[in-house]
Each structure stands twice: as C-alpha cells, then as structure tokens.
C-alpha cells in the first residue's frame, strides 16, 4: 500500500535507517519510562501464530512505554484461524481500525510479505518460519554497536543451526551490508540454505570461501566452515595470509539452537557442541562476545553466564529500546525519516491456481485462500525470479507475455523481449498451455 512503511525483511531498512534507529534506541534506553507521550492514543496488535516470549513481550512493553496500547492475540490457535480464516482476512480486519500497526509472527515463510500486501497499517515481521526475523537483527546489531562501537570490519562467527534460524538469515544479510567479516560454522547438516547464499552473492557481492576454523576448537571440529568474503579487495583481518584463510581472531560468536520445530523427516542431527568456559578459552575467542537470540537449550552452558564476554541477556533487554525506536518511527511519532534500503521491486503474478514456488513452507502454498503467488525479478539474463513471499529461487522453465499470450522457454532470446510488467511465470509448458498461452509460430520449445 502506497506510503506505508513495513518491516518485512531487514533489507527494508537502509544502513542509514538502522543507524538512526540505534541512535534513537540509545536515547530511549537512557530513560525507558520517560517517553510515555510518544505514541499516546495509538494501538499495536500482536498476532502470534507461533510461540514467543521475548519478541512479543518486548514489543508490547515497548508500546506501553511509549504511552500506547496493545491488543494481543498471543495464541492464534484460539482465534478465528482455527475456524479457517485466512491470514489475509485477519490482517484486513485488524488493520481496519482495530490497530495502528501489526506485529506478526507466523510459521509460514513469507507470511509478513502477504500481510504487508493487504494491510492498511504498517506490518512488522516478528519471524516468518525459517525465513527472516529482522527485529532480532536490529537488537543484535545494536548490541554489537554498543559493545564494540562499530559493526564494519568486525569478525563475527555464526554457529549452530544456520539452515532454519531466521535470526541468522536476517543477521547475515545485514552483516554483509555493514561490511563485517562473517565466518559460518554450521552444525553438520544445518548449513546456510542455497537461496540465502545466492542472495549474499548476487545482492551483496559476498562470496563464500572455505575457512580453516580449527583454531576455534571444538565448536568447529566437525564443521565445514566458510568465510563469507566480499568480492574484490577485502580486508583479511581475520586471517594470517601465510596459513590461508585461517580464523584467528573473533569479535563475536553468535550461537543458535537447533530449530527442531522446523526439522524435516531427514533432519536427524547429532547433539550440538556446548560452548562453555573451556571452549571459550580458545585463543581466537579470547576477546569475543558471546551472543544468542535465545531461547537457548544446551548450546551455551550456564557456567558462561557470569563471564563478562556473555551478552545474550543484554541482547534480550535491548529489545525494548530498539523496538520502541522502530515503533515510534513506523508510526510517524519521532523525527526519524526512514528512507528504505532499495526500491520495492515489482511483484509478478501468475494465473489463478498456478504457483511456480515449490517451497511447501511458503505462505503461497500453505494458505489455501486469498493469496496470489507473487514474484520478484532477480535477473533478466539469465531470466530468474524469486518468490515474492519466501524469497526462494523459482524453477520456472517457461515465461509468458500477458499481452501477446505467447509462452517462451525462460532462457530463449525471445523471452528477453517481454516487458517486466507483462512477465508471467510457469513451472512447465503444460501449465502455460492450460491457461490459454500459445507457442509463437516458428518457435521451438524444449
Ligand atoms: C528466535 C526466533 O524466534 O527465531 N527467538 C527470538 O525471537 N529471540 C530464536 C529461536 O527461537 O531460536
């Protein structure tokens, strides 16, 4: 909807936006109870279709501290969702006078993008399946900024479940944009998904390179560590050139828990390595802060809680001022003028009943009603699109032109002539033919 600012992906904020939010958050943090006029008379709605402690409570606390009100559906299983109401309808209703902003958590990837499409008030993504969790990233970056005084050039290790942790996905995009050095130390079997790597490569020029993380000790012992390096000249502050890409100095270690609630039947993984005082005695970790979005299970031992390097509870407490700043900004109640990171890309639609997105966890597949598949064009040559909801690369072998009603192989030169706003994506030729598209005379399609 024109003019409304949503936070669906961390990419909806520019670096300047984030710095403004951090400065505002710092101001709020100095007097948490001193801003009770900022959002007086306004209401946020928490729509939580998944469990939450920190995210929902810190959002609600933030709004109350700003002098606003909160309506909370903390367990949507007792809402009309259980009667079969679509997410789109729920959002239309809640945004129609019930609330001035919606905070949404949902198990399907892309749920917040759908909500933003139909909402008449700002929508904040408080976690959409394994996809993104941009406000956790704001808390994480803010914490790094407070603790280390900068983000650019920091050496950050991301460990644990990099596959299903939405906090990791939003965080890694932002770290790449801020110019931090990233080392991925995934638990075996829980490596970064391909679509995340592809986005890092294409949108941020970041290329993964094998890293020797053996000096980190046990945490990296069975991991295929990767250094996410910017293309072109880059600082090798993390590595001694003589030994190749060896990780030998770390500013922050970011742990995640196994996201077992999102594991598929093939995801049987060994127990996670536990970070404890002994594991943190590895030389490269000597000055590393220990971060975790929480909740933790056994991946961080309680014996680290009193270690001054442990800052995971600070991360959680900073959720309040950070979310105060974000709410005030999106509600237009503070001086921030958020500019956004990039122009919103157009979404491309396909005929009713067709969905080239094959991600079964995408909202475009989990919602049966009131949703049209939508796409973002990632590249013209070769022609490639990503799902407009879950961001996965679409396997669309055929594209049509909505005006000529011709269908072309996606890699054919003739497909390049279709104007972006006329592109229609099809999983296969049969789908295109079924919708009345025809192969142009003389064209050979595979
Ligand atoms: C995270 C989440 O929900 O993705 N929690 C949070 O919001 N702090 C991380 C997790 O659940 O592991």
Task: Tell me, yes or no, whether 336 lies in a domain.
Answer: no
Atom of ligand 1 nearest to the CA of 256: 12
**Predicted confidence band at 230 (pLDDT cuts at 50, 70, 90)?**
low
Task: Tell me, yes or no, whether 156 lies in a domain.
Answer: yes
246 is catalytic: no
Q: Are residues 78 and 191 in the same domain?
A: no
Instruction: Check pLDDT > 60 for residue 252.
Output: yes
What is the distance in A from the centroid of ligand 1 to the CA of 128?
11
**What's the order of all strands across the beta sheet hosting 101-106?**
69-73, 43-48, 101-106, 123-128
Asked if 226 contacts 196 with a C-beta cutoff of 8 angstroms, the reply is no
Q: Are residues 264 and 389 in the same domain?
A: no
Q: Which residue has the tokens 């536990």?
A: 274
Mean pLDDT of 251-267: 95
Which of 184, 179, 172, 171 lies closest to 150, judged by CA? 179
3-state SS assignment for residue 382: coil
Task: Tell me, yes or no, whether 5 lies in a domain.
Answer: no
From atom 7 of ligand 1, which residue's Cα is the shortest distance away?
Answer: 55
**Predicted confidence band at 348 (pLDDT cuts at 50, 70, 90)?**
low
Count CB neighbours of 185 within 10 A: 25
| Residues with a CB atom less than 6 Å from ligand 1 | 54-55, 127, 133, 136, 166-167, 256-257, 293-295
Atom of ligand 1 nearest to the CA of 105: 3
133 is catalytic: yes
Q: Are residues 103 and 153 in the same domain?
A: no
Task: Tell me, yes or no, whether 337 lies in a domain.
Answer: no
Q: Are residues 120 and 169 in the same domain?
A: no
Distances 249 to 154, 231, 313, 357 between C-alpha atoms, Å:
10, 21, 24, 41
State pLDDT tens for residues 23-44.
999 999 999 999 999 999 999 9
Mean pLDDT of 99-113: 97
Task: Tell me, yes or no, whether 439 lies in a domain.
Answer: no
Domain boundary among 330, 361, 378: 330
Stretch among 44-53, 111-120, 221-230, 433-442 having the lowest mean pLDDT:
221-230
* Mean predicted lDDT score pLDDT of the chain: 91
3-state SS assignment for residue 103: strand
- Tell me, what CATH number does 400's domain have? 2.30.30.20
54 is catalytic: yes
Q: Are residues 123 and 144 in the same domain?
A: no
Instruction: Check pLDDT > 50 for residue 234.
Output: no
Of residues 1 and 416, more confidently modeled: 416
**What does the alpha-carbon distance between residue 16 and residue 13 come to, in Å, rounded to a whole number?**
8
Mean pLDDT of 316-345: 86
Of residues 377 and 275, more confidently modeled: 275
Q: Are residues 201 and 276 in the same domain?
A: yes
Q: Are residues 83 and 120 in the same domain?
A: yes
Q: Are residues 124 and 204 in the same domain?
A: no
Mean pLDDT of 352-358: 82
Mean pLDDT of 182-191: 95
Counting the structural domains of the chain, the total is 3
Structure tokens at 252: 């922050």
Task: Tell me, yes or no, whether 87 lies in a domain.
Answer: yes
Backbone angles phi, psi at 321, to 5 degrees: -60, -35
Backbone angles phi, psi at 123, to 5 degrees: -115, 135
Q: Are residues 306 and 359 in the same domain?
A: no
pLDDT of residue 420: 84
Q: Are residues 208 and 120 in the same domain?
A: no
Instruction: Check pLDDT > 60 for residue 48.
Output: yes
**Predicted confidence band at 238 (pLDDT cuts at 50, 70, 90)?**
very low
State pLDDT tens for residues 277-286.
999 999 999 9
What is the distance in A from the centroid of ligand 1 to the CA of 240?
35
Which residues make Cβ contacts (< 8 Å) with residue 415, sequence separation at least 6? 383, 399, 408, 409
Task: Tell me, yes or no, whether 342 lies in a domain.
Answer: no
Which residue range is the domain that position 399 belongs to?
Answer: 347-434
Instruction: Check pLDDT > 80 for residue 331.
Output: yes
Atom of ligand 1 nearest to the CA of 126: 7
Which residues make Cβ contacts (< 8 Å) with residue 153, sequence separation at least 6? 179, 180, 181, 235, 237
Asked if 263 contacts 202 with a C-beta cutoff of 8 angstroms, the reply is no
Distance of CA 261 to the CA centre of its chain: 18
pTM over 0.75: yes
Q: Which residue of 103, 133, 137 sits with most ligand 1 atoms within 8 Å of its CB, as the best mutation to test the pocket?
A: 133
What is the distance in A from the centroid of ligand 1 to the CA of 146?
21
Count CB neighbours of 179 within 10 A: 17
Task: Tell me, yes or no, whether 226 lies in a domain.
Answer: yes
Stretch among 240-249, 381-390, 397-406 having the lowest mean pLDDT:
240-249
Q: Are residues 119 and 144 in the same domain?
A: no
Q: Which residue of 165, 167, 272 sits with most ligand 1 atoms within 8 Å of its CB, as the best mutation to test the pocket?
A: 167
405 is catalytic: no
Domain boundary among 273, 300, 330: 330
Counting residues of the chain whose pLDDT is more than 90, the rounded percentage is 69
DSSP 279: G
- Tell me, what CATH number does 268's domain have? 3.40.50.1370
Highest mean pLDDT among 3-7, 165-169, 207-211: 165-169
Q: Are residues 413 and 365 in the same domain?
A: yes
Domain boundary among 286, 304, 330: 330
């Amino acid at each position: 909807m024109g003019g409304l600012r949503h936070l669906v992906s961390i990419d909806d904020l520019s670096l300047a936006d984030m710095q403004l939010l951090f400065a505002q958050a710092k101001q709020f943090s100095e007097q948490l109870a001193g801003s009770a006029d900022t959002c007086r008379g306004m209401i946020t709605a928490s729509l939580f279709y998944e469990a939450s402690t920190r995210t929902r409570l810190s959002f609600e606390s933030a709004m109350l501290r700003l002098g606003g009100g909160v309506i909370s559906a903390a367990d949507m299983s007792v809402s009309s969702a259980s009667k079969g109401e679509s997410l789109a309808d729920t959002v239309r209703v809640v945004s129609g006078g019930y609330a001035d902003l919606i905070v949404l958590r949902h198990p399907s990837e892309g749920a917040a993008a759908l909500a933003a499409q139909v909402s008449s008030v700002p929508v904040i993504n408080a976690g959409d399946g394994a996809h993104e969790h941009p406000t956790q990233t704001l808390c994480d970056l803010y914490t790094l900024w407070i603790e280390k005084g900068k983000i650019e050039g920091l050496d950050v290790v991301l460990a644990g479940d990099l596959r299903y942790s939405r906090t990791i996905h939003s965080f890694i995009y932002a770290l790449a944009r801020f110019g931090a050095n990233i080392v991925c130390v995934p638990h075996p079997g829980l490596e970064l998904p391909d679509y995340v790597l592809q986005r890092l490569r294409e949108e941020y020029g970041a290329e993964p390179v094998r890293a020797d993380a053996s000096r980190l000790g046990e945490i990296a012992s069975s991991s295929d560590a990767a250094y996410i390096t910017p293309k072109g000249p880059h600082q090798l502050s993390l590595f001694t050139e003589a030994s190749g890409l060896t990780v030998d100095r770390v500013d922050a270690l970011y742990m995640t828990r196994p996201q077992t609630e999102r594991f598929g039947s093939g995801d049987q993984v060994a127990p996670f390595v536990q970070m404890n005082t002994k594991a943190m005695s590895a030389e490269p970790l000597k000055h590393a802060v220990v971060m975790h979005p929480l909740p933790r299970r056994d991946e961080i031992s309680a014996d680290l809680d009193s270690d001054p390097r442990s800052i995971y509870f600070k991360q959680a407490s900073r959720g309040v001022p950070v979310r105060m700043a974000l709410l005030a900004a999106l509600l237009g109640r503070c001086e921030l003028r958020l500019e956004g990171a990039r122009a919103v890309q157009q979404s491309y639609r396909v005929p009713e009943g067709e969905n080239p997105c094959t991600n079964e966890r995408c909202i475009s597949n989990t919602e049966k009603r009131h949703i049209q598949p939508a796409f973002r064009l990632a590249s013209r040559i070769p022609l490639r699109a990503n799902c407009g909801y879950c961001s996965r690369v679409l396997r669309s072998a055929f594209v049509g032109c909505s005006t000529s009603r011709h269908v072309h192989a996606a890699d054919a030169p003739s497909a390049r002539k279709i104007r972006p706003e006329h592109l229609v994506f099809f999983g296969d030729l049969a789908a295109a033919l079924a919708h009345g598209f025809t192969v142009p005379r003389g064209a050979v399609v595979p």
